Amino acid sequence: MTLNTLSHHGIDAWLQDNKGRRFTFGPPVVDGNQITAVIELENRKSYSLAWCTSRDAPPVNALCEVFRPAGKSGHIKTCRIANHYMADNDPETQSRSSKGRLELPLQRDTWLWTPPGGAGFVTLEIRRLRKPPKETERPDDNNPGLVVCEFNIDLHDDDKGRAAQRPHIVFRFEFKTKGMPHESKRPIRPPYKKNIDATSSTRITRRRPSTRLEAARRDQMSELSELSSSESEFEGPPLSSVLANKQEHIQVTELFLFTR
């Protein structure tokens, strides 16, 4: 039996390449709240991790975090590389992807790559929330060129006592080289992310701005430059007034893009 999607507790998850084709795998293994698939590959591939509510399942409020191995002891330690959310009052949030949500030092909109040598894994952890989370995004005053994304979350009552130990659902995709034996690393058990306080009501992430924001700012700054270079030929209101209005327009545009 060949599958291309993992389904567990009302959520579907899968890996897809840059052409939208889903990776295939054999029967998954279910261990409590964790479901694992082993993906066999001939060569390294670019991919993103995507997920959505299952067909006919009710919409959910959830915090969604993506992890992969960190350092030489990657089968024990993991680092978060992306996070997102789902809100039951917004249908568009019921389908999500790691692309566009990657954290530093990764480029926000880049693709992930399967590990060299074939060994490794990527996981998606889902934590239930009592109500839709609120996310804000603003420029990082201390790091020009970066933005700060902040979640305010309210963990589901059933998860508060054990949230630091295990999330509600874990999707785990393991990679292996085609034709080579596969040894699944022992399940990752707590404490395995000491740098993440899973019980906190806030998540703060620093990212590079989205390419949409960068393009908008680049185009408008170019327009400012053209206005400045033509100062001697300019007729009408004082140039300083025009530039001030343009700069205000840029700030309003950024605010609009941050809040979409």
pLDDT in tens, 96-138: 999 999 988 888 889 999 888 767 899 999 999 999 988 888 8
Tell whether 149 is covered by a domain.
no
Give the range with max mean pLDDT: 70-74, 91-95, 136-140, 188-192.
91-95
Rounded to whole angstroms, the Cα distance separating 209 from 223 reads: 20
Please indicate, yes or no, whether residues 125 and 165 belong to a single structural domain of this protein: yes
Question: In sequence order, which ranges of 33-128 are alpha helices (DSSP H)?
Answer: none
pLDDT in tens, 180-229: 666 655 544 433 343 344 445 556 666 666 654 444 444 444 444 444 44
Is the pLDDT at 41 greater than 50, yes or no?
yes
Tell whether 30 is covered by a domain.
yes
Among the residue ranges 12-26, 34-48, 92-106, 161-175, the one predicted with the least confidence is 161-175
List the beta bridge partners of residue 62: 86, 128
Please indicate, yes or no, whether residues 226 and 112 belong to a single structural domain of this protein: no
| H helix or E strand, kind and range, residue 145 | none
Higher pLDDT, 163 or 15: 15
Please indicate, yes or no, whether residues 49 and 113 belong to a single structural domain of this protein: yes
Q: Model confidence at 31, in pLDDT bands (50, 70, 90)?
A: very high
Please indicate, yes or no, whether residues 13 and 120 belong to a single structural domain of this protein: yes
Please indicate, yes or no, whether residues 166 and 237 belong to a single structural domain of this protein: no
Tell whether 142 is covered by a domain.
no
pLDDT average, residue stretch 54-76:
83
Please count the structural domains in the chain. 2
What global pTM score does this model have? 0.71
DSSP letter for 28, please.
Answer: -
Q: How far is CA 142 from the centre of its chain?
A: 23
Please indicate, yes or no, whether residues 114 and 162 belong to a single structural domain of this protein: yes
Q: How far is CA 182 from the centre of its chain?
A: 28
Owning domain of residue 76: 6-130+156-196
Give the range with max mean pLDDT: 76-85, 147-156, 175-184.
76-85
Tell whether 147 is covered by a domain.
no
Is the pLDDT at 247 greater than 60, yes or no?
no
Please indicate, yes or no, whether residues 95 and 31 belong to a single structural domain of this protein: yes
In the chain, the N- to C-terminal Cα span, in Å, equals 41
Q: Is the dihedral of CA 48, 146, 125, 120 positive or negative?
A: positive
pLDDT computed for residue 56 by the predictor = 93
Is the pLDDT at 154 greater than 70, yes or no?
yes
pLDDT in tens, 155-185: 876 555 554 556 899 999 999 887 766 665 5
pLDDT computed for residue 37 by the predictor = 97
Please indicate, yes or no, whether residues 79 and 180 belong to a single structural domain of this protein: yes
pLDDT computed for residue 183 by the predictor = 60
Is the pLDDT at 1 greater than 90, yes or no?
no
Higher pLDDT, 145 or 158: 145
pLDDT computed for residue 148 by the predictor = 80
pLDDT computed for residue 119 by the predictor = 73
Is the pLDDT at 39 greater than 90, yes or no?
yes
List the beta bridge partners of residue 38: 174
Is the pLDDT at 5 greater than 90, yes or no?
yes
Please indicate, yes or no, whether residues 220 and 125 belong to a single structural domain of this protein: no
Please indicate, yes or no, whether residues 187 and 218 belong to a single structural domain of this protein: no
Categorise residue 124: left if φ over 0, alpha if ψ from -120 to 50, beta otherwise: beta
Please indicate, yes or no, whether residues 167 and 107 belong to a single structural domain of this protein: yes
The maximal CA–CA distance of the chain, rounded, in angstroms, is 75
